[in-house]
A and B are shown apart, each in its own frame.
Chain A
Amino acid sequence: MNAETVIEVQKVGIWYGENKAVKDINLSIERQKVFALIGPSGCGKSTLLRCFNRMNDFVDGFRIEGSISYRGMNIYDKKVDPVVVRKCIGMVFQKPNPFPSSIFENIAWAPRINGYKGDISELVETSLTKAGLWKEVKDRLKSSGFSLSGGQQQRLCIARTIAMQPDVILMDEPCSALDPISTSIIEDLIAELKKQYSIVIVTHSMQQAARVSDQTAFLYRGDLIEMGDTSKIFSMPDQKLTKEYISGKFG
């Protein structure tokens, strides 16, 4: 295993009841890079992403085979508690989902319940700064998270994730509910964040994958069709299917 690999997916098959959503995929995700999962709806990209922090454990009938290793340890190992997995591998969802509380509380909650010993106010400030939101909200930390615009809410959710001091950040179509300006702000933020974190992003938008990611994997109907450097995937893909997808023939 490469020392720079942070998540290693080996022969992973994912089942929902009788339906096999993801078929025997092998992937490796490198440290401090942005890894994009692309493909048409229902190709299994979100399903796969949700396995990286064991969010699929909450789905009835979910079953996984193969292994997903985080820094060499299978996260589905019996000794591993999913709560710790989710602390190390944070997640940002498709729709901004701030908690129904103040901006400050939104960020302070997770560190507090995880027993954070340091200065919470300081952590809130650094997290918001890293998420590029501090200047906009520093004077109204006590107002509700819902008072922010959609793009700000999504950055609040990113700040909230950063505050847990994770290692990897998973993003499930983080911009699909946002307008173009908010989207471009978040994309700039992703570029900034990868200096410190490894990021896996699922996206519907091929342009977005091309803009933000270092590596791209193309999934189709549960199969991994092609994976490689983003520049290569988008300029000269090996597979005919990949070429058709990125040129917009289907999907």
Chain B
Amino acid sequence: MINLDFYSAASAKSNHPLLDQRGNLGTRKLKSYFFAFMCFFATVSVIGLIAYLILDTFLQGGAWINADFFTNFASRMPDKSGIKAALFGTIWLLGITALFSIPVGVISGIYLEELMKRGFFHKFISVNVSNLAGVPSVVYGIFGLAFFVRMLGFERSLLSGALTLSLMSLPVIIISTREAIAAVPSSIKMGALAMGATKWQTARDHIFPTALPGILTGVILALSRAIGETAPLIILGAVSFIAFVPEGWNDGYTALPMQIYTWVSKPQEDFHQLAAATIIVLLGVLLVANSIAIFIRIRSRKVKL
């Protein structure tokens, strides 16, 4: 006969084990509810804060968003001010930055994770890439100023800005590519290699497509951060007032965060509202860019399964 009293409290009320053996269950469940509440509280407070900020921005700037706002250049008069130059500047920056950082970052990630021989040099590079991901953007700005603007003589052009933002994005892209690749089940990799495939064929046909969703997530994160940056652009000499749209990589430019920064520093209230409107457009650009990436991600998943 099993001793059913072993765990039960001293004061058994009924004679059924399912009712008598609750022991410390009450406290355990309380802790569980408390943990769930804390999780809920953390989530709600963060989302609430963001929702408040977005709402506030819309209330301030919403009224300023109309067709003129997109087609006018910045001006001394708030009524005639628009973000044409900044919007085009940001799109140019985003395009050129993506052009440089995605291929270089993804290929470097594949090389570091899949192909490079493990050893001192590999560790050295890995540690440094991780460190670079934590370097403040101003430092990238100073490097860009010294290297691209001065040494290579690119001047205060879109190219200097985009290359600097690319450098800033690279560590994040490389690290997330490596993580996505490391998450590919080794059974797939071994299966391919055991069929007489070279490492490159295995990487190209199996590892890369399987890792693609993860890689895209990293790319989205990195590029979103890049186009929201102001600090490096200030150092690199993005101009705050320009009355033209950049037509090539060597043109001067301004960008949405620059425009926001300029308008916020002005004393007039109207300019602050213009800045709020610009923030809404910047959020819009980010949302569109992310949607495109998510769309690609979902499609690539459908092909696979």
Contact = CB atoms under 8 A, between A and B. Distances in A.
A100 B197 contact: no
B193 A90 contact: no
Contact of B195 (A58, A84, A101, A161): A161
Contacts of B195: 86-87, 90, 109-110, 160-161, 164
A113 interface: yes
Contacts of B187: 93, 95, 97
A207 interface: no
Contacts of B188: 97, 99-100
B284 interface: no
B194 to A, nearest CB: 4
Contacts of A99: 188, 191-192, 206
A91 interface: yes
Interface string B281-305: 0000000000000000000000011
B210 A83 contact: no
Interface in A91-113: 91, 93, 95, 97-101, 109-110, 113
Looking at chain B's contact residues, is the secondary structure mostly helix, strand, loop, or mixed? helix
B159 to A, nearest CB: 39
Size category of the binding interface on chain B: 20 to 34
Interface string A106-128: 00011001100000000000000
B192 A87 contact: no
A157 interface: yes
Contacts of B190: 55, 58, 93, 97
A53 interface: yes
A146 B210 CA distance: 14
B118 A87 contact: no
Contacts of B209: 100
A28 interface: no
Interface centre among A60, A83, A87 (most CB of B within 10 A): A83
B196 interface: yes
A53 B185 CA distance: 20
A208 interface: no
Contacts of B193: 55, 58, 86
Nearest to A145: B305
A130 to B, nearest CB: 16
B201 interface: yes
Contacts of A83: 196-198
A215 B103 CA distance: 53
Interface in A23-80: 53, 55, 58, 60
B196 A86 contact: yes
Contacts of A144: 304-305
B214 to A, nearest CB: 14
Interface string A160-171: 110010000000
Nearest to B194: A91
A53 B205 contact: no
Contact of B194 (A55, A98, A109): A55
B196 A93 contact: no
Nearest to A57: B193
| CB-based closest 4 A-B pairs | A87-B196, A97-B187, A110-B195, A91-B194
Interface of A: 53, 55, 58, 60, 83-84, 86-87, 90-91, 93, 95, 97-101, 109-110, 113-114, 144, 146, 157, 160-161, 164
Given A86-B196, A97-B191, A98-B191, 17 more contacts: A53-B194, A55-B193, A83-B198, A87-B195, A87-B196, A90-B195, A93-B187, A97-B188, A99-B188, A100-B206, A100-B209, A100-B304, A101-B304, A109-B192, A113-B196, A160-B195, A164-B195
19 contacts: A60-B118, A83-B196, A84-B196, A86-B196, A90-B195, A91-B194, A93-B187, A97-B188, A99-B191, A100-B206, A100-B210, A100-B305, A109-B192, A110-B195, A110-B197, A113-B196, A113-B197, A144-B304, A144-B305
